[in-house]
Structure 1
Amino acid sequence: MTLPEVHLVGASRAEALRLAPIALAMREQGTLSAVLLAAGPDPAAVDATYAAFGLTPKITMPTGDDPAEALRRFDALWAGRTPAAVVVRDFLAAGLAAHWRRIPIMQIDAGRRSSDVTPVATDADRRLLAQVTTLHLAATPLAAMNLLDERVVAGDVLLTGGTAADAARALAGRREEAPVRSRRLVVVGADAAPVVAALRPLTVRFGDLEVLALGGELPSALRAALLAEAYVVITADEDLTEEALAAGAPVFVLGNAGAYAEAIHAGSARLVGPDPATVAVKMAGLLAGRVHRDTMVAGGNPYGDGLAAQRVAQATAALLGHGQFPDPMPARPVAGATR
């Protein structure tokens, strides 16, 4: 029997990281045929991320940075090879093309909002994508509430958790081991590079401190290993924040508090502001006593429990008439276990 074909569209490394566990879950459940797409301006990076999970995309389609051209290419693809459903994250062009072809759309990480609705902000695309999504798969209760506030029908929203936690678990058994360090490792995201210089004096004050600027070209498995080893991660990037928390590392976030509300509320992330000198002062306080860092770790990861990919795969199959919808992700305890 031919299984229903579901296209999982990755247009960035971050999207591919979150889609790969879903493809593995669909393969394991055996009710759907997962077809991975490597799209976006750099499909080679998407392909490399899939490869870290032992997966190979069946369709590679460079779409560049032009949304109109991306939409045209997806429309042409799905005119000749129409899937039973499409799974997307933030890629609006893919969502619109699927909508116009009357293909059911599953959006993972649905309902994420940063309160930034400027014309260049991702939030604008996320809100537009929500208008055409068939089933909204939210990572957190707050994200689900955002959708309900935007008048999305409650029955079209399912709390699944985010799949970054699933990815961290899957990569743990595959990853290339990071170098063994006897020092406390502070990982600084590429978006927060100016902070590195401000932290250098702390490496003298705290002799066991190492500061590492995270490059964008690192293999996914090595990147995951470094995050798992990190004493703390400093970034303004939503995706890196979620991936660090999934790996068990607390985070100093430099950006809009709206994008990190769940982690800040849990205590596993702290908003420290963008000024490098301020970050250095806050970091000195965190390094002064282990209890401060352990308190953050105890906040846990509010973005998933490691079972989100299974729920997404099951929900997609149920939407297509194969089995029952999964139960939503259980309510999260107030504090997680320490590392």
Structure 2
Amino acid sequence: MKLLIAFGTRPEVIKLAPVIAQAQRRADDVQLVVCSTGQHREMLEQAMQVFGVRPDVELAVMRPDQTLPALTARLIEGMSDAITTHKPDAVIVQGDTTSAFAAALAAFYQQVPVAHVEAGLRTGDLASPFPEELNRVLVGRMARWHFPPTPAAAANLLREGVAPGAITVTGNTVVDAIGMVRTRWAGGTPAAMADPFPGKDLVLVTAHRRENHGPALLQICAALRELCGLHPELGFVFPVHLNPRVREVVLAELGGIANLQLTAPVDFEGSLWLQSRSCLVITDSGGIQEEAPSFGLPAVVMREHTERSEGIDAGFATLAGTITQAIVQAAQAWLLMPNLRTALARKANPYGDGMASQRIVATLLGEPVEGFHG
């Protein structure tokens, strides 16, 4: 079976790297073509280096100040050319990015079946996250194979009329990816990285989502200033996204705070290392919501809606929104809880068991698979 795997952003590489590795292990059964759209080129390179991923096809679609419609058009054209050249039996996409949507649409136009990894996530609001909610809904309409990470995501697909036989609950491939990285940490020790606050517990902060630009980001910064003042015993670490709309605001609002370190973006392994050192994560990242339970790490989610409700339902996360006092109150509830990490360490990971990539490749090859039960 010839598979074309397409990605364009760092989260896609992270979550597809285990699928790529599993397909390579099944080389007698699978011929693999890896295609990078280069949607987020600089951060994409970081992730590819961590996992040793090397694309067979690289699209040159990015232009300065490119609009979303222009990017989408270039991606569809580039992916169409790649599909025409390589003639895959199926195209695998992950998640909800513009690259995933464009690759799925290009495959659909050429009547090539689409496999959707991380299918079925929904907020129910097409404006949040934008444009990701629409992207994943439309990819779901085009997909032949649906690989939801959890039973809740599968239930969303069933409500939308997807046939049960087209759905395999796999767990989230990010749990597989975390396992790949941890095997490189000799004796369980994370990769060498300068400790920003030796002797202090850390609070990891990330904020980048488009819907949190502008006034919401100012509210987030105000919350962080307040929390830094309330907890001088903690070290706050904020890897700042490269997007100027985020970076300029964060540097202006949060520079010069003694127990807050603003850093350049970190790669996936660096992010996992920081999570392993932290007692709390404050984030608007979907990926970190999924990663944190692997470390018994609680999360404050700075969004109005989340398509990853499993962590909240399992007691790993709080949905706080982006109002300053709501963020502070949610963080305080976790930080003041006694024996927090011990309690969370006993909970089962709601996002996966590390076998997702095996289930995906086996399903595509027509082999029997027992799904992840959550």
Q: TM-score, normalised by structure 2?
A: 0.80
Alignment partner of 1:25 is 2:17: no
Q: State the match for 1:277 in structure 2.
A: 325
Instruction: Tell me the secondary structure at the aligned position of residue 117 of structure 1.
Output: coil
Most deviating of 209-218 and 172-181: 172-181
The percentage of aligned residue pairs carrying the same residue is 25
**SS of equivalent residue, structure 2 residue 307:** helix
The answer as to whether partners of 1:10 and 1:46 remain within 8 angstroms in 2 is no
The alpha carbon displacement at 1:171 in A equals 1.1
Q: Could you say which residue in structure 1 is the equivalent of 2:11?
A: 14
Q: Which residue of 229, 248, 259 corresponds with 1:201?
A: 229
1:303 paired with 2:303, answer no
- String of CA shifts for 1:54-75, please: whole Å, max 9, x gaps: 2211111133342122111111
CA distance in 1, matches of 2:106, 2:337: 53
Shift of the alpha carbon at 1:183? 1.4
Aligned CA RMSD, in angstroms, stands at 2.1
Match runs of 1:252-291 below 5 Å:
252-291=300-339
CA distance in 2, matches of 1:121, 1:297: 35
Q: Per-residue deviation at 1:99?
A: 1.2
Report the counterpart of residue 76 of structure 2 in structure 1. 71
1:143-222 alignment, distance < 5 Å: 143-174=153-184, 176-180=191-195, 181-191=198-208, 194=221, 195-204=223-232, 207=233, 209-216=234-241, 217-222=265-270
Q: Deviations over 1:248-304 (max 9, x none)?
A: 422111213442321111001112332233323333342334324443444443111
Q: 1:46 aligns with which of 30, 39, 44?
A: 44
Decide whether the 8 Å contact of 2:296 with 2:344 is kept in 1. no
Structure 1, unmatched stretches of 5+, are: 319-323, 333-339
Tell whether the 8 Å contact from 2:50 to 2:269 is kept in structure 1 after alignment.
Answer: yes
The 10-residue stretch of structure 1 (266-275 or 286-295) with the greater mean CA deviation from structure 2: 286-295
Determine the C-alpha separation between the residues in 1 that align with 2:30 and 2:90: 10
| Structure 2 CA distance for partners of 1:61 and 1:302, relative to 1, 3 Å | same
1:17 and 1:11 mapped to 2: Cα distance?
A: 11
After superposition, give the CA deviation of every residue in 1:296-323 in whole Å (9 maximum; x if it has no partner): 44444311111101111211222xxxxx
Q: Distance in 1 between matches of 2:36 and 2:43?
A: 8
Aligned partner of 1:103 among 95, 109, 112: 112
Cα distance change on mapping 1:246 and 1:87 into 2, 3 Å? farther
The answer on whether the counterparts of 2:10 and 2:44 sit within 8 Å (CA) in structure 1 is yes
Residue 239 (structure 1) aligned to one of 263, 275, 287 = 287
Give the AA of the match of 2:89: A
The structural deviation recorded for 1:80 is 1.8
In 2, Cα distance between the equivalents of 1:127 and 1:296? Answer: 32
Query: Matched residues in 1 for 2:39 and 2:24: separation?
Result: 27
**Is 1:316 equivalent to 2:341 in the alignment?**
no
TM-score by length of 1: 0.87
Taking the aligned partners of 2:152 and 2:369, their CA distance within structure 1 comes to 19
Q: Which residue of structure 2 lines up, in the alignment, with residue 325 of structure 1?
A: 368
> Quick check: 1:314–1:325 contact (8 Å CA) kept in 2?
yes
Q: 3-state DSSP class of the match of 1:110?
A: coil
Deviates more, 1:67-76 or 1:268-277: 268-277
Once the 2 structures are TM-superposed, how far is the Cα of residue 227 of structure 1 from its aligned partner? Answer: 1.8
Question: Does residue 138 of structure 2 align to residue 128 of structure 1?
Answer: yes
Rounded Cα–Cα distance in structure 2 between residues aligned with 1:247 and 1:38: 30
> Any conservation in 2 of the 1:176–1:225 contact (CA below 8 Å)?
yes
Partner of 2:275: 227
